[in-house]
């Protein structure tokens, strides 16, 4: 069904698939540790039907791939997320919505959920033993079964979720609160902040006033605070009036970081300013005395005036994705921000051991961006941030030639004492278009050595975010 397209996101390792499989007793090369127990799931954009017009990587219908590890064996399954939009298109037998590179169509206003299809294609969060599939443009969380990846249905928190729920919420591992945000790029409120209690009750959901509708993608938490992001990038307002969507970056603007107490509200937000930039993904945040430290993968200039034409820089339409490890420090007493680059290697889709989220994580595991115009990763980098220096210690694992990997979730050693932050494994899928196959890699997170490689029943496309659900 895939058609060749110049964006590069329907080709090669990004080529979508059209079926849903279950496969048990997969062939394992090496040895799967018995203390690796649980389900690794990864979300991905995978259009059900040929797109109408131009396709953006972020447009595809959500498809979740899962690999379950138990007693040294592995099984695989994949399912589309049955969103309202997915079901409406299935019934019609064709695509009904255009993607974000096409003009908004007036007739699309009557489609279920509005003119932009909520695909639930971006992220997964595991909270209270339940797995939710989430969308980058803020939609309805869809619960997905950890047993067979079937869609259980939309989660609206007893009707209290009256707006959207964005990708990249954070689970506080100490309190088990689920902290999230909602954003809109077209209507007020442009930003909302929310907290779900450990019992699953929506206890905060309130508008945070911001001046302009910017593209927001992630947030961060510390033990006591939440950090909302606001970068000077959004739809070009003039073009939007004409029904067209084009991303504009305000190079003269400021980056802003809204810090508020965990159960605070709009009146409690303190905005810290920093140099203009864009950031898709934070890595972690933590408190040091009266200072809050945030680490992430920062893009200094997402839409440079001189665009790269070499074909070796990862692009999302007009955005050049050259992210580097970066640190901001927000002084709660003075309101000042200090910021600095931590490395000059291009990495993205970073992950840490989720059990240290919000405290001073020592290690981060970042896929390394390959030289290609479509975003692909050709290795994994383990950073040791303990020293606090520029270019922190890093251990690199190179993917086999021709193989591209994705986000690697940290799977803690089942029954382990948890006294070593890196005592566990990194799990990620790898795909090769050249050999038309996919595998699952399991690396020892301590030394980044491959301990096992599991053959998947067929090639799967590269994707977005992943989660390891221990014991599931
Ligand atoms: Fe993301």
**pLDDT the model gives residue 7:** 66
In angstroms, what is the span from residue 29 Cα to ligand 1's centroid? 31
**pLDDT the model gives residue 1:** 40
**pLDDT the model gives residue 391:** 85
In angstroms, what is the span from residue 135 Cα to ligand 1's centroid? 9
Whether residue 2 is predicted with pLDDT greater than 60 in this model: the reply is: no
Which has more confidence, 67 or 244?
A: 67
Spatial contact of 425 and 442, defined as CB atoms under 8 Å apart: yes
**pLDDT the model gives residue 106:** 82
In angstroms, what is the span from residue 281 Cα to ligand 1's centroid? 6
Q: Nearest-CA neighbor of 33 among 70, 6, 5, 68? A: 70
Lookup result for tokens 């240290």:
356
Tens digits of residue pLDDT in 56-71: 999 999 999 999 999 9
**pLDDT the model gives residue 392:** 87
In angstroms, what is the span from residue 72 Cα to ligand 1's centroid? 31
In angstroms, what is the span from residue 267 Cα to ligand 1's centroid? 28
Tokens of 90: 């299935």
DSSP 8-state class, residue 241: H
Q: What is the mean pLDDT of residues 384-409?
A: 94
How many angstroms separate the CA atoms of 466 and 342, rounded? 25
Instruction: Provide the 3-class DSSP secondary structure of residue 239.
Output: helix
DSSP-derived secondary structure for 69-116: EETTEEEEEEEE---HHHHHHHHHTS--SB-TTSPPPGGGGGSTT-SS
In angstroms, what is the span from residue 309 Cα to ligand 1's centroid? 25
**pLDDT the model gives residue 429:** 98
Tens digits of residue pLDDT in 161-183: 999 999 999 999 999 999 999 99
How big is the chain, counted in residues?
A: 472
Instruction: Provide the 3-class DSSP secondary structure of residue 128.
Output: coil
Spatial contact of 99 and 108, defined as CB atoms under 8 Å apart: no
Which has more confidence, 235 or 334?
A: 334
Q: What is the mean pLDDT of residues 20-27?
A: 98
Share of the chain above pLDDT 90, in %: 88
Spatial contact of 340 and 326, defined as CB atoms under 8 Å apart: yes
**pLDDT the model gives residue 3:** 40
**pLDDT the model gives residue 140:** 97
In angstroms, what is the span from residue 390 Cα to ligand 1's centroid? 25
**CA 20 distance to own-chain centroid:** 23
Whether residue 293 is predicted with pLDDT greater than 50 in this model: the reply is: yes
How many angstroms separate the CA atoms of 276 and 86, rounded? 37
In angstroms, what is the span from residue 415 Cα to ligand 1's centroid? 30
How many angstroms separate the CA atoms of 138 and 8, rounded? 25
In angstroms, what is the span from residue 168 Cα to ligand 1's centroid? 7
Tokens of 340: 């600095």
Tens digits of residue pLDDT in 374-396: 999 999 999 999 988 888 899 99
Q: What is the mean pLDDT of residues 432-461?
A: 98
DSSP element (H, E) containing 6: none
Look at 93-107, 239-253, 285-299 and tell me which has the smallest mean pLDDT.
239-253
pLDDT band, residue 230 (cuts 50/70/90): very high
**pLDDT the model gives residue 297:** 98
pLDDT band, residue 4 (cuts 50/70/90): very low
How many angstroms separate the CA atoms of 126 and 146, rounded? 10
In angstroms, what is the span from residue 282 Cα to ligand 1's centroid? 9
Q: What is the mean pLDDT of residues 80-95?
A: 98
Beta bridge partners of 247: 235
Spatial contact of 375 and 323, defined as CB atoms under 8 Å apart: no
In angstroms, what is the span from residue 122 Cα to ligand 1's centroid? 6
In angstroms, what is the span from residue 313 Cα to ligand 1's centroid? 19
């Amino acid at each position: 069904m895939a058609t060749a397209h110049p964006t590069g996101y329907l080709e090669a390792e990004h080529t979508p698939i059209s079926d849903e499989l279950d496969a048990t007793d997969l062939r394992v090369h090496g040895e799967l540790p018995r203390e690796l127990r649980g389900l690794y799931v990864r979300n991905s954009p995978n259009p059900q039907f040929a797109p109408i017009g131009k396709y953006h990587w972020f447009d595809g219908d959500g498809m979740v791939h899962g690999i379950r590890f138990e007693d040294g064996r592995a099984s695989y399954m994949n399912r589309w997320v049955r969103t309202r939009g997915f079901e409406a298109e299935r019934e019609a037998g064709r695509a009904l919505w255009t993607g974000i590179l096409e003009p908004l169509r007036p007739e699309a206003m009557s489609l279920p959920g509005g003119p932009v299809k909520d695909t639930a294609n971006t992220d997964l969060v595991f909270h209270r033993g339940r797995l939710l599939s989430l969308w980058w443009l803020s939609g309805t969380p869809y619960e997905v079964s950890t047993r067979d990846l079937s869609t259980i249905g939309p989660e609206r928190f007893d009707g209290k979720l009256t707006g959207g729920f964005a990708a990249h919420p954070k689970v506080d591992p100490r309190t088990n609160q689920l902290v999230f945000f909602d954003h809109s790029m077209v209507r007020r409120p442009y930003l909302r902040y929310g907290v779900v209690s450990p019992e699953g009750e929506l206890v905060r959901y309130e508008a945070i006033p911001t001046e302009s509708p910017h593209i927001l993608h992630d947030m961060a938490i510390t033990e006591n605070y939440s950090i909302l992001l606001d970068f000077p990038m959004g739809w070009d307002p003039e073009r939007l009036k004409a029904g067209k969507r084009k991303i504009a970056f305000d190079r003269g603007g400021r980056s802003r970081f809204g810090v508020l107490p965990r159960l605070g509200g709009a009146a409690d937000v303190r905005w810290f300013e920093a140099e203009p930039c864009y950031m898709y993904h934070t890595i972690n945040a933590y408190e040091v005395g009266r200072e809050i430290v945030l680490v992430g993968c920062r893009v200094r200039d997402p839409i440079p005036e001189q665009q790269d034409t070499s074909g070796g820089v990862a692009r999302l339409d007009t955005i050049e994705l050259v992210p580097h490890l970066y640190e901001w420090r927000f002084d709660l007493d003075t309101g000042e921000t200090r910021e600095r680059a931590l490395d000059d290697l291009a990495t993205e889709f970073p992950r840490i051991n989720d059990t240290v989220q919000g405290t001073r994580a020592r290690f981060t595991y970042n896929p390394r961006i390959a030289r290609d115009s479509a975003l692909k990763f050709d290795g994994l980098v383990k950073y040791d941030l303990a020293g606090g220096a520029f270019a922190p210690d890093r251990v690199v694992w190179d993917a086999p030639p021709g193989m591209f990997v994705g986000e690697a979730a940290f799977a803690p050693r089942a029954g382990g004492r948890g006294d070593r932050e890196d005592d566990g494994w990194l799990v990620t899928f790898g795909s090769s278009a050249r050999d038309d196959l996919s595998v699952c890699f399991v690396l020892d997170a301590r030394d980044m050595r491959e301990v096992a490689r599991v053959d998947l029943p067929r090639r799967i496309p590269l994707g977005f975010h992943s989660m390891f659900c221990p014991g599931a």
